[in-house]
Amino acid sequence: MTELSKYRNIGIFAHVDAGKTTTTERILKLTGKIHKIGEVHDGESTTDFMEQEAERGITIQSAAVSCFWNDHRFNVIDTPGHVDFTVEVYRSLKVLDGGIGVFCGSGGVEPQSETNWRYANESEVARIIFVNKLDRMGADFLRVVKQTKDVLAATPLVMVLPIGIEDEFTGVVDLLTRKAHIWDDTGLPENFTVTDVPADMVDLVEEYREMLIETAVEQDDDLMEAYMEGEEPSMEDIKRCIRKGTRTLAFFPTYCGSAFKNKGMQLLLDAVVDYLPAPQEVDPQPLTDEEGNETGEFAIVSADEPLKALAFKIMDDRFGALTFVRIYSGRLKKGDTILNSATGKTERIGRMVEMQADERNELESAQAGDIIAIVGMKNVQTGHTLCDVKHPVTLEAMVFPEPVISIAVAPKDKGGSEKMGIAIGKMIAEDPSFRVETDEDSGETILKGMGELHLDIKVDILKRTYGVELIVGEPQVAYRETITAQVEDQYTHKKQSGGSGQFGKIEYVIRPGEPNSGFVFKSSVVGGNVPKEFWPAVEKGFGSMMNTGTIAGFPVLDVEFELTDGAYHAVDSSAIAFEIAAKGAFRQSIAKAKPQLLEPVMKVDVFSPEDNVGDVIGDLNRRRGMIKDQVAGVTGVRIKADVPLSEMFGYIGTLRTMTSGRGQFSMEFSHYSACPNSVAEKVVTQVKERKAAEAKK
């Protein structure tokens, strides 16, 4: 087994089309994991193995691959670049120790790269920057380096400089060694020579090398002092400082090349070994209690500790159910019995496999630092902790965003209902951001997701992977309701029908809550007018009604309920009586509190060629968008805006038409905002018409 210090658990993050899957393919080729390189544009890449991925040329799921370089084990995860699948990026960041941020040499810092970078910052994941596609028209390495400073507020540490650019790009100069690495035109990664720096680059190389060393030695006071006095540090000391600064996110070693042309990849792999952290060099995962509060204890990364592992992904494929697991502590062997601390149930480990995208190698054992898949586990969900039976623990949970868009689906024939139910059950287990509900009025199945593409893919999977013929409705926005005024009120539930009756009286105040607070319950009851044992029933009753508002039946957000007084009967009062009273209080008082319809607002990031900026901004304004920022670049302009989701359906088609196919955009949920009256009235009318139509069926 590989020493823990030689493990590198890394993710590859980028905007759509920046070349991250191609970069992964080249890593696998260089490390000997694949012999024929698969191209994304041919639908043959190793990590894009879903039918939908191969067709659309995008990565939807995070594919895990293990490989070796210079006696080090790499567990590599290729993550999606499309914003509708950022839950996969979030999931990956939870279990990774480092990453490679891939940026397009001509496109620069594009919308989704910025989102992924922000997620990685929040997770405190150390990264290397790789500026790809330097062979492309319009590529400019130093411009992209500047963008990482300006847009990402990052500190890039330039480690190499390109030799030539666009179709004259032939290789890179390693600043530390002052050596040029030049590839021939065969496209084979091993066909390169190491030679002296080209004469016309010597001054530039010395300038950037000096900046590199100055930045690196800031990590060591003694070295910095010696350097200021004219003593250059040893190569070993410089690398140690770079490693330290990378681990602490003080800076990000920055490389460049062309993954497609196999140029510059070896230096990138060397950098993963030299500068990204081993598992034990990363802050350990916190342990929590049953409520999710941190206990102050941690999952120490060591094979000698009791087992602590996180199930971070469930996948159902032709080989059976796979549970992807990151082992933080301990060892795991075939035949072991382990505890799922979330369910309290034990499971015996049957088969364990090491993944190479959709291929696998059987394993007899695994240890701290490994990312593996376990075959055939039952009752395990994403985020569950797997641990030693004698040492039960819970790792910090994974939290996933709420869906913002939904569609209704129904099988075309009765025979498809059972097939659809089984398929949806598997899909929910695989993707925690995908939710499914049954409409109580119509009986329709409602699919909920993070965006149009997200749900398009789900419908496609149901149709093609599982063979379910579907009738698909129009996309629906996940509206919400709230209140805008305070109401003091009371409600009495009283029922007498022979024998013991039911009695519960509550006096209360409902008021608007803080943004994103959900439902907040308080009690200021003094004395025993409403005994404490009934307070949870009041909270449960009112809270259970928050799923259905009074305007159009949408869930209600951000309401504070304060129980102030009431009355009870020694014989007739019970928890159920007070729960019913609280439900009645909701129906009675929410309508008095000036309810308001809320709509999801998306953070939209658009790239437009300069010639089309006026049209793009005008169109966003017509969609009720609020322009937040415009940033001019060499190849076009980035426009940031807040736009209601209801106005964004089909936007990609409009954008492509306006920009002759050159425009790009990404969007993610930002916040809920009050609907204008005209929009609210239209939504309410649509809901009424839909319910009336369903009633006639």
Question: Is the separation of the CB atoms in 566 and 529 below 8 Å?
Answer: yes
For residues 368-385, average pLDDT: 89
Q: For residue 584, give every residue at least 6 positions away whose Cβ sits within 8 Å of its Cβ, in sequence order, or none.
A: 491, 493
249-258, 443-452, 589-598: the lowest-pLDDT one = 443-452
Which among 453, 478, 503 is the end of a domain? 478
Q: Are residues 415 and 363 in the same domain?
A: no
Contact 538, 582 (CB under 8 A): yes
394 is in an annotated binding site: no
User: Are 91 and 104 in the same domain?
Assistant: yes
Per mean pLDDT, which range of 335-339, 434-438, 485-489, 550-554 is the poorest? Answer: 434-438
Q: Which tokens hold the place of 72? A: 């080090």
Whether 107 is in a domain gets the answer yes
- The arithmetic mean of pLDDT across residues 485-506, rounded, is 89
The CB-side HSE value for 426 (13 A sphere, CA atoms) comes to 18
Looking at the predicted structure, is the pLDDT value of residue 335 above 70? yes
Distances (CA, A) of 645 to 316, 531, 624, 641, 642: 32, 46, 10, 12, 9
Q: Are 103 and 116 in contact (CB under 8 A)?
A: no
Residue 254 assigned to a binding site: no
674 has binding-site annotation: no
Q: Which pLDDT tens digit goes with each residue over 576-624?
A: 999 999 999 999 999 999 999 999 999 998 988 889 999 999 999 999 9
493: annotated binding-site residue?
no
Q: What is the pLDDT of residue 336?
A: 96
14 is in an annotated binding site: yes
Higher local confidence (pLDDT), 327 or 695: 327
Looking at 535, 563, 593, the residue that finishes a domain is 593
pLDDT in tens, 185-210: 888 888 899 999 999 999 999 999 99
Q: What is the pLDDT of residues 234-244, one digit of tens each?
A: 999 999 999 99
Counting every residue written for the chain, the total comes to 697
pLDDT at residue number 78: 62
Over residues 520-534, the mean pLDDT reads 93
- Residue 344's pLDDT is 92
List, as one string, the DSSP characters of 158-182: E-EEEES-GGG--EEEETTTTEEEE
Does residue 612 sit in the same domain as residue 510?
no
CB contact at 8 A, 43 and 54: yes
Closest among 300, 274, 277 to 287, alpha carbons compared: 300
- 145/9 same-domain check: yes
Q: What is the pLDDT of residues 271-317, one digit of tens each?
A: 999 999 999 999 988 898 877 788 888 989 999 999 999 998 888 76
Annotated ligand binding at 303? The verdict is: no
CA distance 530 to 585: 15
Please report whether residue 585 resides in a domain. yes
Is 189 within the bounds of a domain?
A: no
Asked whether the predicted pLDDT for residue 173 surpasses 60, the reply is yes
CA 34/CA 76 separation, integer angstroms: 14
135 appears as a binding residue in the annotation: yes
pLDDT level of residue 252 (50, 70, 90 thresholds) = very high
Confidence of residue 647 (pLDDT cuts 50, 70, 90): very high
Place of tokens 């509206």: 479
High-pLDDT (> 90) share of the chain, % = 53
Please tell me the least confidently modeled range out of 72-81, 304-313, 597-606, 627-636: 72-81
For residue 696, what are the contacts with CB-CB under 8 A and spacing of at least 6?
none
Residues 671, 674, 678, CA angle at the centre, nearest 5°?
Answer: 135
The whole-angstrom separation of Cα 56 and Cα 59 is: 8
- Do residues 208 and 202 make contact, with C-beta atoms less than 8 angstroms apart? no
CATH number at residue 154: 3.40.50.300
- 16 and 82 Cβ atoms separated by less than 8 Å: yes
Rg of the chain over all Cα atoms, to the nearest angstrom: 29
| 3-state class (DSSP) for residue 315 | strand
Give the integer Cα–Cα distance in Å for 431 and 209. 45
421 known ligand binder: no
Residue scoring higher pLDDT (589 or 471) = 589
Nearest in space to 527 (alpha carbons), one of 571, 563, 491, 560: 563
Q: Where do we find the tokens 């940026």? A: 103
Please tell me the predicted confidence (pLDDT) of residue 120.
Answer: 87
Cα separation values, 522 from 232, 529, 556, Å: 65, 16, 18
Query: Average pLDDT for residues 374-380, to the nearest whole number?
Result: 88
Establish if 236 belongs to a structural domain. no
The least confident of 211-215, 442-446, 626-630 is 442-446
447 in the same domain as 311: no
Structure confidence at residue 652 as a pLDDT band (50, 70, 90): confident
Query: CA 485, CA 595: separation in Å to the nearest integer?
Result: 8
Residues 99 and 47 in one domain: yes
Q: Would you say 107 is a known binding-site residue?
A: no
Query: Residue written as tokens 């004698």?
Result: 390
> Is 499's pLDDT higher than 80?
no
**Which CATH number do you get for residue 589?**
3.30.230.10
Q: For the chain, what percent of residues have pLDDT higher than 70?
A: 90
What counts of helices (H) and strands (E) characterise the chain?
A: 16, 37
18 is in an annotated binding site: yes
C-alpha to C-alpha distance for 112 and 392, rounded to whole angstroms: 39
Using pLDDT thresholds of 50, 70 and 90, give the confidence band for residue 684: very high
With CA atoms as reference, report the closest residue to 335 among 318, 347, 345. Answer: 347
Same domain? For 20 and 109 the reply is yes
Question: Which range in 56-60, 90-94, 367-371 is most confidently predicted, on average pLDDT?
Answer: 367-371
Q: What's the total number of domains in the chain?
A: 5
The per-residue pLDDT of the chain, averaged, comes to 87
Residue 591 C-beta-side C-alpha neighbours within 13 Å: 8
48 and 75 within one domain = yes
Strand pairing class (98-104; 7-14): parallel
Q: Is the pLDDT of residue 255 over 90?
A: yes
Out of 478, 504, 531, a domain closes at 478
In angstroms, rounded to a whole number, what is the distance separating the alpha carbons of residues 383 and 381?
Answer: 6
Q: Domain check: are 499 and 565 in the same one? A: yes
Pick from 213-217, 381-385, 584-588, 625-629: least confident: 381-385
Residue 691 near residue 642, CB atoms below 8 Å: no
Does residue 329 have a pLDDT over 50? yes
For residue 469, which phi and psi values (nearest 5 degrees)? -80, 130
**Does a structural domain hold residue 247?**
no
DSSP string, 477-524: E--EEEE-S-EEEEEEEEE-SSSS-EEEEEEEEEEE--TT--EEEEE-
Q: Residue 467's domain is classified under what CATH number?
A: 3.30.70.870
Q: How far apart are CA 595 and CA 321, in angstroms?
A: 46
Residue 687 domain-assigned? no
315-342 average pLDDT score: 88
Residue 82 annotated as lining a ligand binding site? yes
What range does the domain containing 333 cover?
291-387
19 is in an annotated binding site: yes
pLDDT tens digits along 9-65:
998 887 666 565 677 778 877 876 544 444 444 444 444 334 443 443 333 344 577
- Determine whether the annotation assigns residue 79 to a binding site: yes
CA dist 285 to 227, 317, 329, 398, Å?
A: 37, 30, 10, 12
Same domain, 588 and 613: no
Residue showing tokens 């007084």: 565
Give the pLDDT score at 63: 55
- Confirm or deny that 370 is annotated as ligand binding: no
**What are the Cα distances from residue 535, in Å, to 176, 506, 517, 566, 589?**
68, 10, 20, 11, 19
527 annotated as belonging to a binding site for a ligand: no
503 CB neighbour count, 10 Å cutoff? 21
Q: Is 640 a residue whose pLDDT tops 80?
A: yes
CA distances in angstroms from 237 to 208, 210, 240, 252, 354, listed in the order given: 18, 15, 5, 17, 36
**Do 465 and 523 share a domain, yes or no?**
no
441 a known binding residue?
no
Asked whether residue 364 is assigned to any structural domain, the reply reads: yes
Is 243 inside any structural domain? no
Residues 358 and 507 both lie in one domain: no
* 642: enclosing H helix or E strand: strand 637-644
**473 labeled part of a ligand binding site:** no
Instruction: Find out whether 54 and 74 touch, Cβ atoms under 8 Å.
Output: no
